[in-house]
Amino acid sequence: EWAEGEILERYAKEHAPLPKAEATVIVSQVAAAVQAAHDAGIVHRDLKPENVMYDPKTKKVKLLDFGIATDTQAPSDERLTRAGFFVGTLMYIAPEALSGELVTAAADQYSIATIAYFLLTKCLPYTAKAPREMFTQLLTMPPIPLRDACDDVHFSPALETVVMRALSRTPSSRYPSVDAFSKAFQEAAAVEMEPVRALDRFKGLFGRSR
């Protein structure tokens, strides 16, 4: 099936940080598609901007590449990552996928939260540049708080709480489902003003003459 638009990774690198309204549209559609897969017993396991097609004109999103998706009803040993090998892109993969734990629907939630983090900040939750360093950070360190990701973009505590909960290293600490995360994200983003850049805020303090 032909998908109109462009790869989200390319679009985000050019336009991020995205307005919260646009980021919410993208995240909610990705989450809806993934939740539908989860309801059918399928975990995607390779969610990343390269696997999302986005049409900025229509605001429509299409999820690509279920090539390494797994059946949640499969035997446990078939759902474990292989020793010394992992699937998915390291920057977006959940920590449990690297440590030999079962890869469940919670791993997809982590990946969607990482996508949301990137769309909102144009940064990723970890700073590692090399695979070995990334392994270490994912398995031993908490992600960078959303508020510290970008010096000139600011977020409400509510939105940060939602994103960072979904990025918890422990799967049980995340939302009970992708749908629950998506609803919380939409609610937090809806009540928050657009990101205010530091320079604009500074200008606002002195923009009026007395």
Written as six digits, the tokens of 7 are: 């790869």
What does the radius of gyration of the chain's CA atoms come to, in whole angstroms? 18
Written as one string, the DSSP assignment of 38-96 is: HHTTEE----SGGGEEEETTTTEEEE---TT-EETTS-HHHHBPPTT---S-GGGS-GG
Q: Are 88 and 24 in contact (CB under 8 A)?
A: no
- The residues annotated as belonging to the active site are 46
